[in-house]
Amino acid sequence: MADRIVVAGVPVDTRHWIGGRRVASVETFTDHSPVDGQPIGEIARGGPAEAVAAVAAARDAFPAWAATPRAERARILHAIADGVDKRVEELAIVETTDNGALLRSHRRGVMPRVAHNFRFFADWLLRLDHDDFETRGHTNHVSWDPAGPCVLITPWNAPLMLATWKVAPALAAGNTVVLKPAEWSPLTASLLADIAAEAGLPAGVLNVVQGYGAEVGDALTSHPDVRRISFTGSVPTARRIAASAAANLTPLSLELGGKSPLLVFADADLELAVELAVEQYDNAGQVCLAGTRLLVEESVASEFTRRFVEKAAALTQGDPRDEGTDIGPNIHPRQLEKIDGFVQRALGAGARAVIGGRRKGGQYYEPTLLTHVA
């Protein structure tokens, strides 16, 4: 296995990052680009051995990092943010190649938000304080103490941004981290390890282990030295993680998406409502907070639908690297099958496809609006 691949001109190390150094695995898995379905490279495939090594590195690094003064931790987090800012273009093109989201979105919003996440928690850390207070003759003191090694398991739809929503606060609080990125989009996590090391983050404070959940993920979440677990993803996987965590009473947080509706009443600004509704196709609809159900008051439903169809027809679907593209591909053939299954079952149950309802070739699915649903 090559230790490095070049993605759109950007070198990316395909090995794990454990204890401040690159670590290879005997086995690999193939990372494919959803843009064209072509293989990007072979990625180190972690298992129990890599999980044990990463947790050990995080455990060993924890006492010194926890004892590091807040101002110094904040300084390093700002240095990581500076490193992200310098590499926005590289991070953007690698992530677009890896997960298929729009390059223009990565450049203008997503990667700048990655840097902002580190800056926000660095600044928040320095403001975290509470005066002592008296109750019935007793002095009360409030402190914030780091927990220890944290396992952070992140999704594929906004890989780096959602990873830093977990990594930045964990590091700010004085915890050490083992980050396990989704196997469908692992590349920018590897680049984050490089940036963090260049910023002066001590060895072992951030570790990145790649691989499949059933192999390395289970070994991480069941490890008795792990003090916190955070997971964003599916309900079935969350159940498995919760069972692993329960054996050691490891506290965990789960973010499992949702199906919240977008509500449109008769007195709404219909133009604004339609604009927001069509925006739910962002990232090919692969957004956990997308309002994928539209509940529209009957008296305005026909006009709303007419305007929606008109606006959606103006969207351009295609290569996410092109500036004029509005909708890119779905992340993986399995995801495409899942989406088509939703649509076909709905059509079979009597729904009507006002627009879309079909695959478009490759990993692209037409923007779809179904009406007459139960």
- Please indicate whether residue 271 is annotated as part of the active site: no
Write down the catalytic residue from 42, 198, 215, 255.
Answer: 255
Instruction: Please identify which residue in the block is written with the tokens 């890119």.
Output: 328
Q: How far apart are CA 284 and CA 363, in angstroms?
A: 10
- Please tell me what DSSP assigns to residue 265: -
Helices (H), 210-297: 218-221, 235-248, 270-278
Write down the catalytic residue from 288, 297, 323, 366.
Answer: 288
Q: Is 324 exposed, middle or buried (CB count within 10 Å of its CB: 0-12, 13-18, 19+)? A: exposed
**Helix, strand, coil tally for the chain in percent (to 5):** 45, 20, 35
Contacts of 237 (CB under 8 A, 6+ apart): 213, 231
- Please indicate whether residue 288 is annotated as part of the active site: yes
Catalytic residues: 255, 288
